[in-house]
């Protein structure tokens, strides 16, 4: 009988301890803190390493790139085209101080939000054998979640992990 009383007492103590514990289920940022924005760069080159985003080069192919992220579509609008300006949001095109190559820049993505989203880089390809352009799609996956009030970021490129685990990343796409 003493053994049965010990089991009941032990079960009651365990239940009391478990009910005293709280598990953090609310993965939201602390509204009193400021979080660094997220950003990424996309360099696009051909197999020879030529920059396909250099607007002064005969290799320029930026007009063939569309990016989809969070329900919006983005295009480079160089040279300016009113139809592109009307139907798409503009992509920021910048030149790297490190290597002089141009890149697509997504800056100031809100770092105080959770993301588990794909960024689709759609490239229209057309060669002599094709009568109609085909699309090649590269996918950058951004996972930025808060554990308690600490953000954790992971970037995947075409399903593979990258070395980037911070608020910024760089990707090189070869066409």
Per-residue pLDDT of the chain (175 residues; tens, 9 = 90+): 555 565 555 555 545 544 444 444 446 777 778 889 999 999 999 899 999 999 888 888 888 889 999 999 998 877 667 777 777 787 888 999 999 999 998 888 899 899 999 999 998 865 545 556 678 899 999 999 988 778 899 999 999 999 888 899 999 998 8
Instruction: Judge whether 4 lies within some domain.
Output: no
pLDDT of residue 18: 44
Instruction: Output the pLDDT for position 84.
Output: 74
pLDDT at site 118: 95
- 21 part of a folded domain: no
Residue 3 belongs to a domain: no
pTM: 0.74
How confident is the model at residue 160, as a pLDDT? 93
CB neighbours (10 Å) of residue 78? 15
Identify the pLDDT of residue 124.
Answer: 81
> Is residue 79 assigned to a domain?
yes
Domain assignment present for residue 2? The answer is no
Say if 95 falls within a structural domain.
Answer: yes
Cβ count near 92 (within 10 Å) = 13
Q: What is the pLDDT of residue 26?
A: 47
pLDDT at 23: 40
Domain carrying residue 56:
29-174
Residue/partner pairs of 21-25 with CB below 8 Å, 24 or more apart: 24/147, 24/148
pLDDT for the residue numbered 67? 92
Q: Give how many domains the chain has, as a whole number.
A: 1
Neighbours of 139 (CB within 10 A): 14
Does the residue 33 lie in any domain?
yes
Structure tokens at 127: 């060669």
Q: Write the CA distances from 52 to 11, 58, 142, integer angstroms.
A: 68, 9, 24
Does 8 map to a domain?
Answer: no
């Amino acid at each position: 009988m003493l053994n049965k009383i010990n089991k009941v007492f032990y079960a009651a103590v365990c239940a009391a301890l478990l009910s005293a514990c709280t598990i953090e289920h609310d993965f939201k940022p602390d509204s009193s803190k400021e979080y660094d924005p997220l950003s990424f760069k996309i360099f696009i080159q051909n197999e020879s390493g030529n920059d396909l985003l250099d607007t002064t080069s005969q290799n320029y192919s930026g007009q063939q790139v569309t990016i989809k992220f969070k329900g919006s579509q983005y295009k480079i609008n160089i040279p300016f085209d009113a139809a592109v300006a009307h139907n798409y949001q503009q992509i920021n095109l910048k030149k790297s101080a490190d290597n002089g190559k141009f890149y697509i820049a997504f800056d100031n993505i809100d770092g105080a939000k959770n993301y588990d989203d794909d960024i689709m880089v759609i490239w229209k390809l057309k060669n002599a054998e094709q009568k109609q352009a085909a699309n090649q799609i590269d996918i950058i996956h951004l996972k930025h979640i808060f554990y308690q009030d600490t953000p954790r970021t992971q970037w995947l490129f075409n399903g593979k992990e990258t070395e980037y685990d911070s608020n910024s990343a760089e990707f090189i796409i070869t066409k």
